[in-house]
Structure 1
């Protein structure tokens, strides 16, 4: 709709752009380094961020860089994940039919993890998304899963990903046993103003079109509206590009951004 007007070969503010083209702030680079460390050493990590601040982007970039020869990646995202369905979900991805009882399924999974690690020489990385919605029973079961060989060995890397309330939950006293098992804590903050400028510039560069589309004052307005949320930046920039193209405007200023915020956004 607007790409031809701005002579773009790629759509710049989508959520699913190529992982190699993603903007990496210093904070995001640090999170990715921690996750790579967790994967290599089979550690337990927790990733938290506000809504729209890049959790999914971080996981997508992280998993895209893991060698398929060295890593087996398992992914779950279910707000109503019970212990039984936790095991079933992982075993299904490994091509194994889960037994009904939780203890039996846990033993099945341990056996498969040992086979993958011992025979195929791969590290298993399990990612549980939307983890802030998990019930205490499921979080406890995850802790039991990591209890193996008298704490001398973790059978896999486990990464819990959720909104900031996940860490607030884990700080409660009745989650102390789980919290004490966490090896790495990764927080993805909102972008600051400078990073918002860099983010927009990186995505415009990815588009292959004009790089000077938004004025500095326009980006200041985008930052004020989005509070540094990547999702909100994407949404506002997309609407602004559509608005400008429909009016044959090659440059988007702060006045246009305010008009888009007031009249175009739900």
Structure 2
């Protein structure tokens, strides 16, 4: 509907956008650079940010940048895993049937990672998303997971991705041994006003637009509502585009945005 009405090649503001077409703001580039550093140094670190600010998108971009001949990427999104299930899930993703006992599965995983590193010259990159929901037991297990050869060398990189509560949790004294092992801790903030304008323009350009669709005032109103959170920007822009299609308007102004935001408040 949107694509055909505006004559574009693709629909903007969707999660399906290819990573090569992503809008890479300064904050996004900083986030990816920190994660790449964690990978290159085979270390543990965490990235936090508000819901919808682009953390998972940055992880997706990181994955696509990694050489599959040098890295094995493992993504975990179930924050309710217990330590035993954690190792079982890791082994399953490596395509290896896990042992029944937790201690055996843990040793099995450690042998697997070492074999990958020493014999296949590959580094395991493990990303634990929604890490702010991890239990205390699971966070403690992560501490032991990274304790290879008494800290002399690590054959893997471990990235914890979560909401701001993760930073607060890690500040607790009980988790100090984990934070001491963390080389990088980064908080991804929302877009600035100008970055929001650039983001909207970039999305439209990638879709195939050859001219402006949102007025500057409309984009500023979207920013005021979304507070720079890219997912919220996507939601409002998509709703505004649909509203424009229904009304057969080629330009979206503050009237469209105000109407859409009032509908959001009623939901």
TM-score range, shorter chain: over 0.9
Mapped to 1, the partners of 2:263 and 2:35 lie a distance apart of: 41
1:35-114, aligned counterparts within 5 Å? 35-114=35-114
Render the CA deviation track for 1:2-23: whole Å, top value 9, x for unaligned. Answer: 1111111111100120001111
Q: State the shift of 1:264 in Å.
A: 5.5
Render the CA deviation track for 1:10-69: whole Å, top value 9, x for unaligned. Answer: 111001200011111111101111111211220111010001100110100010110111
Task: Report the 3-state secondary structure (helix = DSSP H, G, I; strand = E; otherwise coil) of the residue aligned with 1:42.
Answer: coil
Unmatched segments (≥5 aa) in structure 2: none
- 1:145 corresponding residue in structure 2: 145
Mapped to 1, the partners of 2:206 and 2:53 lie a distance apart of: 20
Mapped to 1, the partners of 2:183 and 2:16 lie a distance apart of: 30
- 1:131 corresponding residue in structure 2: 131
- 1:177 corresponding residue in structure 2: 177
Deviates more, 1:93-102 or 1:16-25: 93-102
State the superposition RMSD in angstroms: 1.1
Mapped to 2, the partners of 1:78 and 1:71 lie a distance apart of: 22
Q: State the shift of 1:77 in Å.
A: 0.8
- 1:205 corresponding residue in structure 2: 205
User: TM-score of the superposition, structure 1-length normalised?
Assistant: 0.97
Task: Report the 3-state secondary structure (helix = DSSP H, G, I; strand = E; otherwise coil) of the residue aligned with 1:186.
Answer: strand
Mapped to 2, the partners of 1:264 and 1:226 lie a distance apart of: 12
Mapped to 2, the partners of 1:264 and 1:228 lie a distance apart of: 17
Task: Report the 3-state secondary structure (helix = DSSP H, G, I; strand = E; otherwise coil) of the residue aligned with 1:5.
Answer: helix
> Is 1:215 aligned to residue 215 of structure 2?
yes
Q: Is the 8 A contact 1:7 1:210 kept in 2?
A: no
Deviates more, 1:94-103 or 1:110-119: 94-103
Q: State the shift of 1:182 in Å.
A: 0.8
User: TM-score of the superposition, structure 2-length normalised?
Assistant: 0.97
Q: Is the 8 A contact 2:2 2:11 kept in 1?
A: no
**Aligned pairs, number:** 266
Mapped to 2, the partners of 1:264 and 1:8 lie a distance apart of: 26
- 2:224 corresponding residue in structure 1: 224
- 1:247 corresponding residue in structure 2: 247
Mapped to 1, the partners of 2:245 and 2:260 lie a distance apart of: 13
Mapped to 2, the partners of 1:55 and 1:36 lie a distance apart of: 14
- 2:11 corresponding residue in structure 1: 11
Mapped to 2, the partners of 1:108 and 1:250 lie a distance apart of: 59
Mapped to 2, the partners of 1:264 and 1:167 lie a distance apart of: 31
Task: Report the 3-state secondary structure (helix = DSSP H, G, I; strand = E; otherwise coil) of the residue aligned with 2:6.
Answer: coil
Mapped to 1, the partners of 2:54 and 2:248 lie a distance apart of: 32
Q: State the shift of 1:209 in Å.
A: 2.1
Q: Is the 8 A contact 1:239 1:264 kept in 2?
A: no
Mapped to 1, the partners of 2:194 and 2:133 lie a distance apart of: 33
Mapped to 1, the partners of 2:88 and 2:255 lie a distance apart of: 53
Render the CA deviation track for 1:122-156: whole Å, top value 9, x for unaligned. Answer: 11100001100000100101110111211101131
Q: Is the 8 A contact 2:48 2:167 kept in 1?
A: yes
Mapped to 1, the partners of 2:264 and 2:124 lie a distance apart of: 45
